[in-house]
């Protein structure tokens, strides 16, 4: 199997706008979580990413036309902007690698996944469309321009026996929904709206005539003129379909990967692996496989998540996996639940021999195997068999025995699943293995957290010291302590000899186990 190295990495995370700050923050045992303000007063803590896209303006301006930066800033969701920032950081770790990725042409790939996706953009556009639909229905349901409703209100109910009750008959707390049902019913029965739609169809029926390019521009301008005249004549609000921003289309799941390919002028395979909390590990597996098959010399891979949002915080809470008492919930302690976080982690991985021969310096550790399995059991509760199978598969691929593992990073979300994960670990590995759990530090970015955890592990081995976690030894859950006691607590410790493992367990039962070893090349110092 071809050896693979990490030749660039970038981070956006809580209190960490870049990889340097991430590295500095890891030295402290303090949590990076902060209060969530999305609901007004509440007891949620979240990992809010620290990020300014303006920090990357000069890099973009130096390579593209002046309109490129404002296009990205105005049209891209934070999920994409985080990934772009992390990619630009990653290029800075090894000068010249940006041009190398271009020279590789189709032998350079991009795999950037996500978890929940572009939640802020979806919410904003959904609300815009909802408000526009509400105004639209109310306008056409006005009895002044709706003869059927005027007759109905005068007592002629023939043909409208299925009409919803008048909103005034609804209880106060149901009045909004009752109004929407009322307006939607009567608005759709407006003869005036039918005429408006008919006139609109005539405008939209215009075709391109003559020269295609010139005719296209002429047709667009003529449509705009006619739309303006139609709106002025009817004095109507904009139809709801005009409220749906195309930014929804520009920010689909593969957008972070596609934007990175465009900014880096990378022309190989580009797509978005989506595997919930295991996304980073799955992306790494795909990268290792592509390089081993000779399809790629380098892969830009990683994961990106939106900032904590009322939709994501509420969803985690109502899935009964979210802490909500205002205190940091630390893995392996009270098991009160996790904390939602946002940001990204992007690596540039490549054929180790190819890149070191060209003078590029590998970072951190060497990923040697990834095992991926599915529980095929439950949407959110991990099984015993699935994660164990992933660990065994990764060990088999690496050619290593359990006794060769010196350290291990847990998925550990501060939920009751922590106990099962530690129990599974001890079914496979000896009591000497030194274990870390870091979601009490930066929270749970659905797809990015695995990348943060793996980067923290690699940075630790690069420095010769495993960074502290927020957990004090006396806080270790008593039941977990009966199974295993060798954890990295709030003081940190030297890296142990041997290999390092990392397990992620994603929603839907996707498991990814990464086995890594300290770098063995002279240039890795």
- Give the global pTM: 0.95
Which residues does 310 contact at the CB level (< 8 Å), separation at least 6? Answer: 38, 39, 123
Contact 522, 352 (CB under 8 A): no
CA distance 524 to 461: 11
Q: Are strands 4-12 and 343-351 parallel, antiparallel or unpaired?
A: antiparallel
CA distance 36 to 47: 9
Residue 435: burial class (beta carbons within 10 Å; 0-12, 13-18, 19+) = buried
CA distance 449 to 82: 14
pLDDT for 329 equals: 97
Contact 364, 517 (CB under 8 A): no
Residue closest to 13 by CA, chosen among 303, 259, 273, 282: 303
CA distances from 444 to 11, 42, 341, 458 (A): 14, 19, 5, 19
pLDDT for 381 equals: 86
Per-position pLDDT tens, the chain of length 525: 899 999 999 999 999 999 999 999 999 999 999 999 999 999 999 999 999 999 999 999 999 999 999 999 999 999 999 999 999 999 999 999 999 999 999 999 999 999 999 999 999 999 999 999 999 999 999 999 999 999 999 999 999 999 999 999 999 999 999 999 999 999 999 999 999 999 999 999 999 988 998 889 999 999 999 999 999 999 999 999 999 999 999 999 999 999 999 999 999 999 999 999 999 999 999 999 999 999 999 999 999 999 999 999 999 999 999 999 999 999 999 999 999 999 999 999 999 999 999 999 999 999 999 999 999 999 888 889 999 999 999 999 999 999 999 999 999 999 999 999 999 999 999 999 999 999 999 999 999 999 999 999 999 999 999 999 999 999 999 999 999 999 999 999 999 999 999 999 999 999 999 999 999 744 333
Cβ neighbour number for residue 68 with a 10 Å cutoff = 15
pLDDT for 418 equals: 96
Contact 305, 446 (CB under 8 A): yes
CA distance 227 to 241: 14
C-alpha of 111 from chain center: 13
Which residues does 225 contact at the CB level (< 8 Å), separation at least 6? Answer: none
N- to C-terminal Cα distance for the chain?
A: 24
CA distance 515 to 280: 13
């Amino acid at each position: 199997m071809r050896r693979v190295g990490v030749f660039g990495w970038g981070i956006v995370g809580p209190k960490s706008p870049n990889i340097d700050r991430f590295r500095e923050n890891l030295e402290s045992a303090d949590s990076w979580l902060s209060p969530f303000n999305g609901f007004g007063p509440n007891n949620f803590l979240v990992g809010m990413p620290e990020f300014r896209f303006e920090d990357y303006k000069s890099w973009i301006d130096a390579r593209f036309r002046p309109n490129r930066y404002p296009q990205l800033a105005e049209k891209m969701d934070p999920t994409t902007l985080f990934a772009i920032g992390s990619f630009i950081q990653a290029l800075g770790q090894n000068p010249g690698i940006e041009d190398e990725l271009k020279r590789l042409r189709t032998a350079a790939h991009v795999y950037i996944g996500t978890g929940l996706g572009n939640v802020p953009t979806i919410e904003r556009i959904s609300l815009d469309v909802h408000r526009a639909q509400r105004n639209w229905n109310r306008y056409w349901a006005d009895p002044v321009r709706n003869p059927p409703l005027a007759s109905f209100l005068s007592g002629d109910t023939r043909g409208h026996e299925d009409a919803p009750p008048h909103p005034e008959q609804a209880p106060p707390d149901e009045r909004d929904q009752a109004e929407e049902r009322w307006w939607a019913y009567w608005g759709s029965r407006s003869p005036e709206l039918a005429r408006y739609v008919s006139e609109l169809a005539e405008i939209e029926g215009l075709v391109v005539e003559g020269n295609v390019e010139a005719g296209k521009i002429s047709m667009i301008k003529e449509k705009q003129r006619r739309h303006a005249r139609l709106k002025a004549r009817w004095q109507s609000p904009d139809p709801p379909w005009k409220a749906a921003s195309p930014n929804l289309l520009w920010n689909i799941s593969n957008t972070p990967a596609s934007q990175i390919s465009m900014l880096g002028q990378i022309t190989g395979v580009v797509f978005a692996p989506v595997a919930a909390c295991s996304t980073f590990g799955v992306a790494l597996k795909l990268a290792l496989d592509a390089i081993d098959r000779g399809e790629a010399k380098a892969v830009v891979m990683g994961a990106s998540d939106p900032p904590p949002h009322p939709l994501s915080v509420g969803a985690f809470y109502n899935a009964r996996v979210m802490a909500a008492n205002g205190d940091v919930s630390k893995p392996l302690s009270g098991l009160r639940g996790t904390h939602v976080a946002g940001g990204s982690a992007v690596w540039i991985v490549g054929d180790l021999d190819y890149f070191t021969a060209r003078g590029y310096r590998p970072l951190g550790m060497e990923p040697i195997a990834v095992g991926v399995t599915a529980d095929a059991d439950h949407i959110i509760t991990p099984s015993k068999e699935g994660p164990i199978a992933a660990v065994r598969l990764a060990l088999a691929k690496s050619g290593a025995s359990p006794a060769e593992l010196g350290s291990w990073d847990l998925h550990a979300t501060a939920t009751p699943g922590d106990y099962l994960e530690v129990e599974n670990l001890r079914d496979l590995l000896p009591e000497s293995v030194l274990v870390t759990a870091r979601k009490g530090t930066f929270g749970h970015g659905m797809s990015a957290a695995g990348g943060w955890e793996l980067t923290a592990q690699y940075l630790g081995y690069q420095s010769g010291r495993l960074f502290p976690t927020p957990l004090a030894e006396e806080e270790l859950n008593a039941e977990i302590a009966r199974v295993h006691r060798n954890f990295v607590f709030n003081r940190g410790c030297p890296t142990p000899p041997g290999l390092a493992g990392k397990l992620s367990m994603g929603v839907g039962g996707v498991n990814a186990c990464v086995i890594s070893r300290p770098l063995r090349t002279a240039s890795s110092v």
